A and B are shown apart, each in its own frame.
Chain A
Amino acid sequence: MSYVLAKSQNDDIHKAGECGGAVTSILKYLLDEEIVDGVLALSPQNDVYDATPTFITESDDLLSAAGSYHCAPTMIGDLVQKYLFDKKVAITVKPCDMRAVEELIIRHKINRDNIYLIGLNCGGTVSPVSGRKMIDLFYEADPDDVVSEEIDKGKFIIELADGSEEAVKIHDLEEEGYGRRNNCQRCDVKIPRKANIACGNWGAEDGWTFIEINDEKGQELIDGAKKAGILETKNPAQGAIDGREKVEGIMIKMAKKVQDATYPTVSEMDEWSRCISCYACRDVCPICWCFENCELNKPYFKDEQNIPPTPIAFQGVRLSHMSFSCVDCGQCDDVCPMDIPVSLIFDKLQKKYFNRTGYVAGVSDDIKPPLYSPEKTEL
């Protein structure tokens, strides 16, 4: 593991990039040198709250995807395994994306040799609809006038078209039920160290991206992009490295505090009582990969005759099949029409499993998925 500060040698990319434009530059290098068939990144469709996964094959199109989209709580695990399995792709991943990809790699649903994981450190994402409401309520600005947003030094900062900025403390927003998604407040993996590189603003100087190089493939990316003349690097000061580590530590501590405070509050049976068995949580879950072969599609589980449905059997099957590998990405909460805190229930069980086995989903170096380990049956 080593660290560099990096910035783009291309002015347009440097300007469009969130920090030093290093990520976009590396993606450009991979496309231009035809090392990958395409790049899976995010690009805004209608506005900054509307960033959507985009598959890019021409490096000219990368500019429209540059920048960090904090109101885009997306997940790319499914897209990669279902539609890009045979392709060589580079993917920008938050820690939860990376963890989902890791879990899918150990299930042979994604081929590690085919992918480059460009990691982004992550302090959290905000749901677009509640994010807009939050700006409406707690900021002077109109949510439609926001051209970019960032999370820095404990504040959610919005930038308007005239260049002005407004910032409110995330803590205050979260006290009022806004701010980062609930699972993000609990998320204790902030730097995606299973990705080839982990990029972020922590420890970075203005106009530079701080990169932690996690493996050989990551080193090749940096060396290649430099050789292609698109990336410039320098060594970070020790103080920057230490500062970054400290912020990471604080974020993890805060997340653990939220975990301790929220796990005991959830009353599973009450929550399931309004479940409509729509399977949205299963269908979006990157770890539930069986699709048509899912046990729950078998005739003996079909619940169509029962209205209201009896979700306990369904939720029980899913909990026993995959909660050990839950990466707490919060996608299930996001898509649940009944606003059931599904991820809280699954993540709580994962942490129980972690306490017994030390297994951190999508992070630990286990070869086999936990589904096959003996501890599972005990829980």
Chain B
Amino acid sequence: MLEIKHTLCPSCSVGCGLNVIINNGEIVGTFPYKRHPVNAGKNCLNGRNSIECYQNKFDKAIVSKSETDIEKAIEEVSKELGSADSSNITIICSGNNDMEEIEAIKEFGESKNFNLAFYADNLKDFADVASYDEVAGASKVFVIGDLLYENPLIGRRIVHAKQNGAEIYALGKAEESVTFNIADETSNSTVEEFLENVKGNIDDDSVIVFNYVDSQDDLDKIEALNCKCLPVFSKSNSKGTLGIIEPKSLDEMLELLDNTKVLLVFNDDIADELEYDFSKISKIISFAPCSNKTTEISDIVIPTKTWLEKEGSFVNAMGETQTFTAAVESDALSEIEIIEKLNG
């Protein structure tokens, strides 16, 4: 049977809708979800490729590089948690977890006195953020990062702003970028210098859109500008998670990892994201639906449901809560079910 079902893209914080094609119970492709208000059926390559996680999902747990029964692997996890001091056990959760999972992970970590680490691209929460429509309607857009290339469905709002006559000021790390191609002024300076230079240009209808900063100080400077801003994260529910867990800066993350003996990673690829010598940590345990750099270096991997197999909600970059339902049925355990098992 051929079916098309609605879901959300899990690949960045824009919150695009995505349709998946299901043939005989298996996800075989994507289809434009043109009714979705965020992206009107448009998805970038990352978004369309996000179903690969389902197609390559784990069907067995892995303990010390060999496939194992899930129940046995969970017992191993419990043993590891019992063998270390709770102050040396760190949980990493991320914007890849949905709201319900984040609540459950937080409760689990707090009840066991584990360290809780959440990394949001070295960014932080801003209470009042610009909506996507406000970006499109801005008189001037100050763009930090190659938003057109990296978060295209917000990039599209910057294109709209340009088409509406806005001036675009773009900062990037590389000499060239797609955003530079549409910008009136471009810069390769530090974020601090960029903010200093554009300060006098900001008016009531300006918006700052950014997906990176050089340091936490830059975030305070952006806040002090009194201009609408929109931080854009690399993960679908970073904004939602920020409302529940205080994020750690890059330096704080590295310091915490230095004090960690057992690391529990809930659906994140921290090994890809942070430059750190993870071999210093005695045990790494990953809860993940499919392989990534972190599962590759993990001692134990517990397979979890992919987002296509569960229901939940994400909060997108502009602060809207969006719910999704399971596109296919699955016997895999959700993170919440795994936590329940770990709680005994």
Indicate if A254 sits at the interface (CB-CB under 8 A). Answer: no
Q: How far is the CB of A320 from chain B (nearest CB, A)?
A: 22
Indicate if B229 sits at the interface (CB-CB under 8 A). Answer: no
Indicate if B159 sits at the interface (CB-CB under 8 A). Answer: yes
CA distance A40 to B3 in the complex (A): 10
Given contacts A45-B6, A127-B34, contact A335 B41 (CB under 8 A): yes
Indicate if B42 sits at the interface (CB-CB under 8 A). Answer: yes
Nearest CB in chain B to that of A46: its residue: B35
CA distance A72 to B176 in the complex (A): 38
Indicate if B256 sits at the interface (CB-CB under 8 A). Answer: no
Indicate if A337 sits at the interface (CB-CB under 8 A). Answer: yes
Q: Which residues of chain A come closer than 8 Å to B160, judged between CB atoms?
A: 339
CA distance A52 to B17 in the complex (A): 14
Indicate if B43 sits at the interface (CB-CB under 8 A). Answer: yes
* A interface, over-half SS: loop
Task: Tell me whether A308 and B176 are in contact (CB under 8 A).
Answer: yes
Task: Tell me whether A339 and B156 are in contact (CB under 8 A).
Answer: yes
Indicate if B274 sits at the interface (CB-CB under 8 A). Answer: no
CA distance A274 to B152 in the complex (A): 10
CA distance A31 to B148 in the complex (A): 47
Nearest CB in chain B to that of A38: its residue: B2
Task: Tell me whether A55 and B2 are in contact (CB under 8 A).
Answer: yes
Q: Which residues of chain B come closer than 8 Å to A334, judged between CB atoms?
A: 32, 34, 40-42
Task: Tell me whether B155 and A337 are in contact (CB under 8 A).
Answer: yes
Task: Tell me whether A308 and B4 are in contact (CB under 8 A).
Answer: no
Residues 332-365 of chain A: 1 if any B CB is under 8 Å from the residue's CB, otherwise 0? 0011111100000000000000000000000000
Task: Tell me whether A338 and B32 are in contact (CB under 8 A).
Answer: no
Indicate if A283 sits at the interface (CB-CB under 8 A). Answer: yes
Task: Tell me whether B45 and A278 are in contact (CB under 8 A).
Answer: yes
Indicate if A219 sits at the interface (CB-CB under 8 A). Answer: no
Q: Which residues of chain A come closer than 8 Å to B28, judged between CB atoms?
A: 82-83
Task: Tell me whether B40 and A280 are in contact (CB under 8 A).
Answer: no
Instruction: Choose, from B82-90, B177-185, B298-306, the stretch at the interface.
Output: B177-185
Interface centre among A38, A79, A309 (most CB of B within 10 A): A79
Q: Which residues of chain A come closer than 8 Å to B41, judged between CB atoms?
A: 127, 334-335
Within B134-159, which residues are at the interface with A (CB < 8 Å)? Answer: 146, 148-149, 152-153, 155-156, 159
Q: How far is the CB of A71 from chain B (nearest CB, A)?
A: 8
Indicate if B23 sits at the interface (CB-CB under 8 A). Answer: yes
Task: Tell me whether A276 and B34 are in contact (CB under 8 A).
Answer: no
Indicate if A54 sits at the interface (CB-CB under 8 A). Answer: yes
Task: Tell me whether A337 and B43 are in contact (CB under 8 A).
Answer: yes
Residues 101-138 of chain A: 1 if any B CB is under 8 Å from the residue's CB, otherwise 0? 00000000000000000000000000111100000000
Task: Tell me whether B35 and A278 are in contact (CB under 8 A).
Answer: no
Within A311-346, which residues are at the interface with B (CB < 8 Å)? Answer: 331, 334-339
Task: Tell me whether A128 and B34 are in contact (CB under 8 A).
Answer: yes
Q: Which residues of chain A come closer than 8 Å to B159, judged between CB atoms?
A: 274, 338-339
Task: Tell me whether B152 and A338 are in contact (CB under 8 A).
Answer: yes
CA distance A309 to B176 in the complex (A): 10
Chain A to chain B contacts (Cβ below 8 Å), 27 pairs: A40-B2, A46-B35, A47-B35, A50-B35, A52-B4, A53-B4, A53-B31, A55-B2, A55-B3, A57-B1, A73-B34, A79-B2, A83-B28, A129-B40, A276-B148, A278-B48, A278-B152, A280-B42, A280-B45, A284-B32, A307-B178, A308-B146, A334-B34, A337-B42, A337-B155, A339-B159, A339-B160
Among all A-B residue pairs, the 6 with the closest Cβ atoms: A337-B152, A55-B2, A50-B35, A129-B40, A308-B178, A128-B35
Interface set of B (CB-CB < 8 Å, partner A): 1-4, 6, 19, 21, 23, 28-29, 31-32, 34-37, 39-45, 48, 146, 148-149, 152-153, 155-156, 159-160, 174, 176-178, 180-182
Interface set of A (CB-CB < 8 Å, partner B): 38, 40, 45-47, 49-50, 52-55, 57, 72-73, 79, 82-84, 127-130, 273-276, 278-280, 283-284, 307-309, 331, 334-339
Beyond A84-B2, A279-B45, A307-B174: 17 further Cβ-contacts under 8 Å? A47-B35, A54-B4, A57-B1, A82-B29, A127-B34, A273-B182, A274-B178, A275-B178, A276-B152, A276-B178, A280-B42, A309-B149, A331-B32, A334-B41, A337-B39, A337-B42, A338-B156
